[in-house]
Structure 1
Amino acid sequence: MFLKFLFFVALFAVCETQSQIGNPKVFIRQVQRKAELLTRIPFDNLTNSVNHVKHVRDHLIKNYDEILDSVSVNQQCRKDLRDISSSNFSLNFKFWDSYAVPGTGFALFHTTFAGQPEECVNIKLDSSPVQSSFPDSGPFLVTFKVHTGLQLSLGTCMPLSCSNSQVARVFKYALHELGVNTEWVVADGREKFEATGAFITAVVVFGIILLLITVATTSNMLSKLNEIYKNGIQKDAGYNREFSVQLDDDRRNEQTVNQDEPIVNLDPVSSFLSLADRFLKCFDFYANFTKILTIPTKSSPGQQFPVLNGIRVLSLGWVMIGHTILVQTFMSDNFLYVYERGKNLLFQTIMNGTPSVDSFFVMSGLLVMYGSLKTMETLPNPTFGNPKFWIMFYVHRLIRLWPTILLTILFVVGIFPQLAPVFYSTFYQNELNTSLVGLCSGTKWMPTAFFFNNLDNPSQSCINWTWYVANDVQFFIISPLFIVAARMNKLWGYLSIGAVIAVNTLLVLKASGVNRAPPGDGGGAFVNPDIVNDFDFTTSWATERLYFSPYCRFQTYGIGLILGLALYQRDQIKSFFDRTPVVPRVAMIWGLWAFGFLCGIICVYGCYPYANGGHMGVWAAAFYNATFRVLWGIFLSILILLCNLGYGGVINDILSANFWIPFARVNYTTYIIHLMLLQMYAMTLEQDFHFTTLNYTLTASGLLMCLNCLGLVCSCIIEAPFIQLEKLILVGKMR
């Protein structure tokens, strides 16, 4: 029964691939939601469909003329297809040999077959007269869903004169002739380049940014070289010390002579040139890169909580490791192996990785509360602030977030479709409405750009992994209510935040219980086959609301606000510890550490017994759903508080180490671009990934380092220039 369950679940595992990767839980829910329906499909029907599909290539070879007479395609496509069928054996063989033929591995969830795309592209390698007349061909991925529910993706080779829709019609007709009734057929191919409006806009915008960066960086480097030359320390120039000193004397004499010349007032021009120079410096790649790598002193502004640097980088690493295993799962030819590994304690850490996002909610709430309270101390009205402060409170946030998100969306809709020639894998499916490009087409990008893509069908939103940013912005919008309450009275601040957390927790508890939602968003519990019968995956609460909605995710942000208020009163807390006798103080500190780690362990591994065959009732799962994020927030808050008070020991030394700082500074940009880059990496794979623990470990480690480094570079290009522009325009100073 267990293997039968796995096999039937596998048949939908490839469904809606790109739309699910933004969040691991969405993919898991989609698979689980189909499982019960699939168990009612006769096994014979499935095997018959697979056997028929295996013969589609042979059917095309033998019946091309008949198929072309029955399908509507353009004249050039029709001519090219006939030329291929009548070409010499060598070329004809290469063409058909590149086609994918469904093979073994269905029991391991292998439902995508790439074929040999390079063989298709390289048919015309030599320049012989016969071969030069062979039509230009390229790989197409044909994805179709048969009436039994089975979805397959096959790599094919077709003339580039044929459009995606025409290739789909050819295969739909061929499958119908074989007796395979399809619900839909979609083809994704290497269509000819088309300069769309989105592409032109993207080229212009990115071209202007790169031009500014090039000019600014070149100007800065030439200026530095000029300074080196003036100071006489450029050793390779061949100047000796006497000549250098004499040259300096000559320059001073020239300056003395020039002092007697009349001075012309060029203030307007000088002001404009000065402003233009400062504007250009905002895009100086070298200066921005150096600033990111600079290690600040402990007394520098923004270094009150160095422990956050390590938490940021490790939490994002946790996110990226989880997304890497998802991408590899979609591309693997042995999904069953990945499924079985999910019972392992180490893999449970990855499968239950959603608290990694809550780490950022805690840190965001902490910094918003602490930073605002500190800034308001200096205002004429420290309790309520003033209009200018609150306007800049929101403006700064938008300037911080918008450039990276908007430019990423522009890249997806403008540049990404034109990269088709380098995407060979079965993961490349731009024609699907649920593809990365399809979800950002038209006006679908607007909810993401304006930070409300977490409210309505978030799993189908543009770059849907930015649902976290939308939540964070919405929490940020209401945070002044708690900040002002805390300025008026500290107790009011604690009580108001605590009340909202309590309401949020009760809402999650009731919604989970009433809707029979799976524990921990179904993450680590997914590997228990009884989960389909024990819990319900058909409600919007179970599939999206509990995970994406702000009214279900405020808990850890609220804990961060409380922590920020507590750290604002750090001196009182530190004084309390100092006044406590040594033995009770040590017991208190060790007790806090033990309690914190216990909360963290329960949060991450609470589903481990159930994943390995244990039992969990509906309301027990509801209680876990209502509390496991709170437990993670408590663990993280205790860790940050004790490290800041000086009781962190080796944990504080590791998390506060300087080597985290550069990657922590570019954390936001890395998060926004990482999943897009992971998908691009997957799309370049010609063959499916064979998953093993060692393969995954090596690949994930390499990708983790590459993504952080690319995030650093992209931050210098996208994020850092606009941060500097904000300082120039709003603050009136640079660096």
Structure 2
Amino acid sequence: MPKMRISVLFVLLMRASLVVCSEKEHSLANKHLFKAIEDKLYSLNKGRGVWGPQPSELRAWTSVYLPSLENNMTSVACRRDLVLMKLALDHPRTMWPLRMIDSWGKLSDGILWGNFKPLGNYHECLETSSVSQRYDVKGKYCAVSYSTFGLKKFNNTAKKGEPLRIATFPIPMGERGYSTCIPSSCTEEDLKATLVDVLEDPGVGVRCHTKDQTPEFLAGDIFVIILLSFLLMLIVVASVADVYINLIDRQTLRTGMLRFLLVFSLRTNLKKIFHISEKRPPGTIACIHGIRVLSMCWVVYGHQQIVNFTFFTNLFFFSQKTRSLFFQIIINTQLSVDTFFFMSGLLVSYGALRKVQRRGRLDVIKFFVHRIIRLMPTIALVCALNATVFRYFVSGPLSHHFDEAVRPCRTVWWKELLFVNNFFTSGGSCIEQNWYTAVDTQLYLIAPVLILSLYFDPVLGRAILYVLSLLSVLSPAMIIRYYDLPPTLIESVQGQIVMEEYRTNVYLMPWCRAGPWIVGIGTGYLLFNLRGKDIGLTPFQAVAGWTVSVFLALSVLLGTWSYQRFDNREYYDVMTQFFYGGFHRTAWALAVAWVVFVCHTGYGGAVNAFLSYPAWQPISRLTYAIFLTSFSVQLMMAYSLKTGVYYEHTTKILETCGSLFVAGVVATLASVSVELPALEFEKLFFRKSGH
């Protein structure tokens, strides 16, 4: 046990060092510091056969962890505390400098397994404090990021094969970095000035945290907090009024001016969300609830794989995992978005055709106004929360990454509200996944033309549908071939630049994502025409339909297995590039369309019983709000980590469950505060205007 303690102390002290103060005085202090460290190391390990570093090697370690006393840019207060740190190291019973050194992000186990970012011990650094009556030296945690690998000055003083040199070999993914703990009197500029000189990297980044550091309240923060307080007040007052009306049993009060307040009633809105109906109203596509919830879980699970990707401590192990067949389910979670496109087209078509049949016309103005009222309030709320309040729930060494992720919410939030964020990608996006809503809204613009033509002139409507279906397949195929892009979001085949080209030219474009939506329009039209009819599927037809559906789904899901790996270097062939790139999204939608078709017409069997189970209904009503808030929740959880993440499938499943639960709570609050009240206001307005 004593040997272990001595070895641990030796490892801690090996990293510790300070460089010279200034001119002769600081050179003398520096010499005494190294002499003290060297004497302590050799006195502890004398006769034990334990290797000890030479002073030149200690200087090499010092230059990457502490500001240099030789640098004229180092502040006076920082120099003073660095000297105090040296003096404290000479005292045998003083622990605070050792805790500071112990909290440094040093070479970790598994560096050749992908553990590239030693984050150190965040709380140990911040809780470090001297007990001197004259000076109070506190710890300041600093995260260092750099991009070059020359490190000429450092490597000239360090032997080839030393741990830090090994830790800085070219890393294939993510930024390079480590952490350190310095006296709180030292500034980010003090440390950065030293690192720029040592690492010869003018782009080196330093982000520091102190124990008493709190985010600064900005004008936007105050405005959003006031807005949230006002909404809370409305909810409380409306809820009290709702309960009071029921207690005195005077329902006539709901018809007066009070009805505009009661739209915020928590009691009423929660009942709408969590109501479970055992009965199936005629014409309802009940299986949609299960498909919607499962697709949403798939989206969140896919996002959970990447939110803390660069902080995996087994990055190369993750690369190996991508070779498995099971991983294709994870890496192809983008198909869940195509499922949502299909459901959007299905519900728009089916619902609008029924309205046209009842009223003999389609109110196009109300059609578009409903879309805006349905989507925009929740988007605006999430943008406001991302830009302001959410950052107060994130702390730790990675918190600055969250600030960078939500910075577009303060500058380009308008792209989200105008549904054009898929076209204007420069400057980032406030709600990264909200490109789907933009594309879906752009497709929504042509929905009246399709619906009215299908209802009043079926021949023309079907012709338009067939032409659009063909174009939705040819458009991505031709664009992919023209720009020589991968058939889908294949990782690491051509690198990040090509993936960004694919996103810009194919993934975010409505004409390339229209296939599943058009399949949904056609499926809705088919179900509308089959209402009340017995289609009379034979067993052979049912088996054939399921066989084709499963074959299409598996072909799309597993079709890029030979390419869809992070360590793959094979190039995709032209046939895969053209046919898979153009048809795979439509093929996936056709597979889902079959499931909806047989479930709705009574031939779904156990599949229909599962997807139509009433318990899906409450979560299904929250999927839109969960979709908008889940990624922000995942980012907050990821960037609140205090250490790296060891990647395993079971860990990711548990993280996904946690993200879904927290996102569900946030989504419920968003729904009862803005989403449902906005829809109720819409009903009151159109009812009053006679629409």
Shared topology, TM-score over 0.5?
yes
Residues 1:181 and 2:201 are matched in the alignment: yes
In structure 2, what is the Cα distance between the partners aligned to 1:446 and 1:145?
33
Q: Is the 8 A contact 2:96 2:128 kept in 1?
A: yes
Q: Which segment is superposed worse, 192-201 or 345-354?
A: 192-201
Q: Which residue of structure 1 aligns with residue 396 of structure 2? A: 424
Shift of residue 53, structure 1, vs aligned partner: 13
SS at match of 1:330: helix
Q: Is the 8 A contact 2:140 2:208 kept in 1?
A: no
Shift of residue 650, structure 1, vs aligned partner: 0.5
* Match 1:98 to one of 94, 103, 107: 103
Q: Structure 1 residues 679 and 373 mapped into 2: Cα distance closer, same or farther (>3 Å)?
A: same
Q: Is the 8 A contact 1:331 1:427 kept in 2?
A: no
* Match 1:708 to one of 654, 664, 684: 664
Q: Is the 8 A contact 1:517 1:536 kept in 2?
A: no
Shift of residue 690, structure 1, vs aligned partner: 1.0
Q: Structure 1 residues 677 and 305 mapped into 2: Cα distance closer, same or farther (>3 Å)?
A: same
Residues 1:476 and 2:444 are matched in the alignment: yes
Shift of residue 436, structure 1, vs aligned partner: 1.4
Q: Which residue of structure 2 aligns with residue 448 of structure 1? A: 416
Superposed, 1:596-615 pairs within 5 Å as: 596-611=549-564
Q: Is the 8 A contact 1:53 1:175 kept in 2?
A: no
Shift of residue 466, structure 1, vs aligned partner: 0.6
Shift of residue 641, structure 1, vs aligned partner: 1.0
* Match 2:518 to one of 524, 540, 558: 558
Q: Which residue of structure 2 aligns with residue 142 of structure 1? A: 144
Shift of residue 206, structure 1, vs aligned partner: 1.1
* Match 1:293 to one of 266, 269, 274: 274
In structure 2, what is the Cα distance between the partners aligned to 1:329 and 1:53?
33
Q: Is the 8 A contact 1:455 1:549 kept in 2?
A: yes
Offset from partner CA, 1:545-604 (integer Å, 9 cap, x none):
2111112111111111111111110148x44x33x7xxxx22112211111111111111
AA aligned to 2:560 is C
Give the gaps of 5 or more residues in structure 2.
Answer: 1-55, 151-169
Q: Is the 8 A contact 1:145 1:183 kept in 2?
A: yes
In structure 1, what is the Cα distance between the partners aligned to 2:137 and 2:83?
10
SS at match of 2:323: coil
* Match 2:464 to one of 488, 496, 509: 496
Q: Structure 1 residues 398 and 472 mapped into 2: Cα distance closer, same or farther (>3 Å)?
A: same
Offset from partner CA, 1:391-444 (integer Å, 9 cap, x none):
11111111111111111111111123344xx4214364256xxx21223232x2
SS at match of 2:63: helix
Q: Structure 1 residues 171 and 320 mapped into 2: Cα distance closer, same or farther (>3 Å)?
A: same
Q: Which residue of structure 1 aligns with residue 50 of structure 2? A: none
Q: Structure 1 residues 221 and 134 mapped into 2: Cα distance closer, same or farther (>3 Å)?
A: farther
* Match 2:70 to one of 52, 66, 74: 66
Q: Structure 1 residues 517 and 221 mapped into 2: Cα distance closer, same or farther (>3 Å)?
A: same
AA aligned to 1:653 is A
How many residues align? The count is 602
Q: Structure 1 residues 78 and 224 mapped into 2: Cα distance closer, same or farther (>3 Å)?
A: farther
Q: Structure 1 residues 57 and 474 mapped into 2: Cα distance closer, same or farther (>3 Å)?
A: farther
Q: Which residue of structure 1 aligns with residue 654 of structure 2? A: 698
Residues 1:198 and 2:166 are matched in the alignment: no
Q: Which residue of structure 2 aligns with residue 263 of structure 1? A: none
AA aligned to 1:289 is L
Q: Is the 8 A contact 1:147 1:182 kept in 2?
A: no
Q: Which residue of structure 2 aligns with residue 567 of structure 1? A: 527
Q: Which residue of structure 2 aligns with residue 255 of structure 1? A: none
TM-score by length of 2: 0.79
In structure 2, what is the Cα distance between the partners aligned to 1:53 and 1:287?
70
AA aligned to 2:215 is F
Q: Is the 8 A contact 2:633 2:662 kept in 1?
A: no
SS at match of 2:306: helix
Shift of residue 608, structure 1, vs aligned partner: 1.9
Q: Which residue of structure 2 aligns with residue 398 of structure 1? A: 372
Offset from partner CA, 1:323-356 (integer Å, 9 cap, x none):
1111242331111111111121221111111110
The structure that is helix-richer by fraction is 1
AA aligned to 1:177 is D
In structure 1, what is the Cα distance between the partners aligned to 2:409 and 2:58?
35
Residues 1:520 and 2:488 are matched in the alignment: yes
In structure 1, what is the Cα distance between the partners aligned to 2:196 and 2:204?
11
Higher relative contact order (CA 8 A, sep 6+): 1
Q: CA RMSD in A?
A: 3.3
Q: Structure 1 residues 316 and 536 mapped into 2: Cα distance closer, same or farther (>3 Å)?
A: closer
AA aligned to 1:66 is E
AA aligned to 1:195 is F
Shift of residue 99, structure 1, vs aligned partner: 2.6
Shift of residue 172, structure 1, vs aligned partner: 3.0
SS at match of 1:333: coil
Shift of residue 142, structure 1, vs aligned partner: 2.8
Q: Is the 8 A contact 1:458 1:548 kept in 2?
A: no
Offset from partner CA, 1:657-705 (integer Å, 9 cap, x none):
0110000001000000001101111122111111123323333334334
Q: Which residue of structure 1 aligns with residue 167 of structure 2? A: none
AA aligned to 1:304 is T
Offset from partner CA, 1:120-152 (integer Å, 9 cap, x none):
23235x9x6739x52665534332222667632
* Match 2:504 to one of 528, 544, 554: 544
Q: Structure 1 residues 516 and 226 mapped into 2: Cα distance closer, same or farther (>3 Å)?
A: same
Q: Is the 8 A contact 1:217 1:285 kept in 2?
A: yes
SS at match of 2:179: strand
Q: Is the 8 A contact 2:67 2:190 kept in 1?
A: no
In structure 2, what is the Cα distance between the partners aligned to 1:180 and 1:192?
32
In structure 2, what is the Cα distance between the partners aligned to 1:143 and 1:618?
40
In structure 1, what is the Cα distance between the partners aligned to 2:529 and 2:125?
68
In structure 1, what is the Cα distance between the partners aligned to 2:66 and 2:341?
61
Q: Which residue of structure 2 aligns with residue 407 of structure 1? A: 381
Q: Which residue of structure 1 aligns with residue 347 of structure 2? A: 367
Q: Is the 8 A contact 1:537 1:543 kept in 2?
A: no
Offset from partner CA, 1:255-303 (integer Å, 9 cap, x none):
xxxxxxxxxxxxxxx99x96553233222222211221112354548x7
TM-score by length of 1: 0.75
In structure 2, what is the Cα distance between the partners aligned to 1:337 and 1:536?
20
Shift of residue 484, structure 1, vs aligned partner: 1.8
Q: Is the 8 A contact 1:139 1:424 kept in 2?
A: no
Q: Is the 8 A contact 2:485 2:498 kept in 1?
A: no
AA aligned to 1:667 is T
Q: Which residue of structure 1 aligns with residue 539 of structure 2? A: 586
Q: Is the 8 A contact 1:560 1:637 kept in 2?
A: yes
Q: Is the 8 A contact 2:421 2:429 kept in 1?
A: yes
Task: Give me the identity figure in percent.
Answer: 24
Q: Is the 8 A contact 2:378 2:675 kept in 1?
A: yes
